[in-house]
Every structure is written in structure tokens, then in C-alpha cells.
């Protein structure tokens, strides 16, 4: 989709880069660009394809990933095997929104991507934000680990499902509460319905137009 978040993976290990790109590629709301393996390639892709998010390793064959991060005018996650506090603090100081230590379960990256999507929808380009929105966005951004123990549901999917506890809702209702876009809420609700966890009914709204309403099965 044209409004998907475009993600670039930068990792010198071809296998690892491919794994991380695959996690991005199957995530609703995201488009995965071809992975690159050097700082030089990353600079060229950022310049020519303007990704929204870069997943960058600390150690690159032609330079320092954190120095590269400081150059790029884009959001970024740092993904690295480095575990020392100095490197982690430097990554955050250089602009990393989060830091993932290799190796990790692919679900953790998926959860972080879901959290980033919600963060972006709270702090959208086309509307202003008050202090409450800023605080909410930061909480969302750093809550990606809350569902890491779940083997079958992402953090966002759990959040969407939780909105059905009070009765019937629309995709717009879910979007307003969770911070995801209406289209993303619809995709999650449709997937939950396909798995038999949600029931869908067609009802007429206040405007007289039919709308889908969702409830727990």
C-alpha cells in the first residue's frame, strides 16, 4: 500500500539481513526494501528511496553503524550483538528509537514494529499533538516487549482484540483507541475473524450507511 511504512535493513550478515527483512515484509502496514550490507549502500538507498525506518547494525564492513545513524535523517532501530552499556547509550544518543540485542526471537522485532506503527499514527504528520499525545506515543513506542511472551499474537493484535471486550465495535472505534490507522485496524479484525476469534455483522450506522461491526466470537 502507498501509505505503508518503508523499512530498510542494514546488516553485514546476508543471512541475518534476510531474516529481518522477512519479518518486516509480512507485517501489516509495512513495506520491506531490499536489504543492504554496507554503510555506503545504506546512504544511497536512504538518499534515493527515502525509507521511513532503518534497522541498522553497529558493525558494518565499511564503517560504524552508529556514526551512520547519526548522519541519517530517518527513524531507526539499532540491532546488534553489542551488549556493553556504552554502545547502547551511544546508540540511543545517536537517535535510535530502540535497541535489540542479537540473537532475539523474531516475535520481538514484530512487536517493536507494531509499536512503531502505532507511535507513528499517534504522532501523524497531518495533525498536531498535545502533551498527552506525546506521552502516549512514547509509552506505545516502548511497550513492544509486553507481548513478547505470546507465541501466537502480536502486541497490536492483542490490543485490537482487547477492544472487543466491551461489546460490538467498528474498525474506526478500534483505530481511535489503539492509535493504528483505520485500514490497519480493519486488517487485524479481518484476520481475527478468519481465525474464528471475532464475529462480523453488517449494521446501519447513524448516516444510514452500512458498516461492519465486530465482537468476540
Q: Specify the number of domains making up the chain.
A: 2
How many whole angstroms separate alpha carbon 169 and alpha carbon 161?
11
Domain end among 104, 133, 152: 104
Q: Which domain holds residue 50?
A: 5-104
* Average pLDDT across the chain, whole number: 86
Residues 123 and 211 placed together within one structural domain of the fold: yes
Residues 188 and 139 placed together within one structural domain of the fold: yes
Residues 193 and 168 placed together within one structural domain of the fold: yes
What percent of the chain shows pLDDT beyond 70? 91
pLDDT band at 154 (very low <50, low <70, confident <90, very high): low
Average pLDDT over residues 51-60: 96
Domain end among 54, 81, 104: 104
Q: Is the pLDDT confidence value at 14 over 60? A: yes
Residues 60 and 26 placed together within one structural domain of the fold: yes
Average pLDDT over residues 186-199: 83
Helices (H) and strands (E) counted in the chain, each on its own, are: 9, 9
Residues 16 and 79 placed together within one structural domain of the fold: yes
List the CATH number of the domain containing 178. Answer: 1.10.10.10
Nearest Cα neighbor of 152 from 102, 195, 104, 100 is 195
Q: Is the pLDDT confidence value at 74 over 70? A: yes
pLDDT of residue 205: 62
Residues 76 and 163 placed together within one structural domain of the fold: no
Place of cell 552499556: 85
pLDDT of residue 146: 42
Residue 73 in grid coordinates: 535523517
Residues 142 and 204 placed together within one structural domain of the fold: yes
Where would I find the beta strands (DSSP E) of 11-111? Answer: 30-32, 53-56, 59-60, 63-64, 75-80, 98-101
Residue 159 vs residues 6, 79, 143, 148, 203: alpha-carbon distances, Å: 23, 25, 11, 13, 24
Domain end among 104, 132, 157: 104
Residues 14 and 85 placed together within one structural domain of the fold: yes
Nearest Cα neighbor of 68 from 94, 97, 99 is 94
Residues 26 and 119 placed together within one structural domain of the fold: no
List the CATH number of the domain containing 89. Answer: 3.40.50.2300
Residues 146 and 180 placed together within one structural domain of the fold: yes
* Burial (CB count <10 Å: 0-12, 13-18, 19+), residue 14: exposed
Residues 118 and 207 placed together within one structural domain of the fold: yes
Q: Is the pLDDT confidence value at 23 over 60? A: yes
pLDDT band at 91 (very low <50, low <70, confident <90, very high): very high
Q: Is the pLDDT confidence value at 127 over 80? A: no
Residues 97 and 186 placed together within one structural domain of the fold: no
Amino acid at each position: 500500500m502507498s501509505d505503508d511504512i518503508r523499512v530498510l535493513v542494514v546488516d553485514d550478515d546476508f543471512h541475518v539481513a534476510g531474516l529481518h527483512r522477512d519479518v518486516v515484509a509480512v507485517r501489516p502496514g509495512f513495506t520491506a526494501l531490499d536489504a543492504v550490507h554496507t554503510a555506503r549502500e545504506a546512504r544511497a538507498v536512504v538518499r534515493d528511496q527515502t525509507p521511513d525506518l532503518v534497522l541498522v547494525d553497529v558493525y558494518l564492513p565499511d564503517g560504524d553503524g552508529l556514526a551512520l545513524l547519526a548522519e541519517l535523517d530517518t527513524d531507526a532501530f539499532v540491532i546488534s550483538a553489542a551488549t556493553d552499556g556504552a554502545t547502547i547509550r551511544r546508540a540511543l544518543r545517536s537517535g535510535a528509537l530502540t535497541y535489540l540485542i542479537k540473537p532475539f526471537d523474531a516475535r520481538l522485532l514484530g512487536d517493536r514494529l507494531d509499536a512503531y506503527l502505532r507511535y507513528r499514527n499517534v504522532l501523524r504528520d497531518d495533525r498536531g499533538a498535545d502533551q498527552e499525545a506525546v506521552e502516549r506515543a512514547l509509552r506505545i513506542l516502548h511497550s513492544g516487549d509486553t507481548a513478547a511472551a505470546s507465541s501466537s499474537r502480536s502486541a497490536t493484535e492483542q490490543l485490537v482484540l482487547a477492544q472487543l471486550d466491551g461489546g460490538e465495535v467498528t474498525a474506526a472505534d478500534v483505530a481511535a483507541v489503539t492509535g493504528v490507522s483505520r485500514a490497519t485496524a480493519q486488517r487485524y479484525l479481518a484476520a481475527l475473524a478468519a481465525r474464528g476469534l471475532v464475529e462480523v455483522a453488517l449494521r446501519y450506522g447513524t448516516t444510514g450507511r452500512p458498516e461492519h461491526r465486530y465482537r468476540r466470537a
